[in-house]
């Protein structure tokens, strides 16, 4: 039972990071790069 709880918690953590990480990196890249740097 402990293994199932650990797996569920790990899965939820990965799901949250998969949502938050692109938002943070996208805003960082958009702030660092100007419109002229996009191509």
Q: What is the mean pLDDT of residues 4-13?
A: 97
Reading phi first (left if > 0) and then psi (alpha if -120 to 50, else beta), residue 2 is in alpha
| pLDDT tens string 9-18 | 999 999 999 9
The span from the first CA to the last CA of the chain, in angstroms, equals 52
The pLDDT of residue 34: 73
The pLDDT of residue 38: 66
Q: Give φ, ψ of 38 to 5 degrees.
A: -70, -25
The pLDDT of residue 14: 98
Cα–Cα distance, 13 to 35 (Å, whole number): 34
């Amino acid at each position: 039972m402990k293994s199932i709880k650990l797996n569920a918690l790990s899965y939820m953590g990965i799901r949250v990071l998969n949502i938050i990480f692109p938002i943070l990196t996208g805003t960082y890249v958009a702030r660092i790069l100007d419109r002229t740097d996009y191509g």
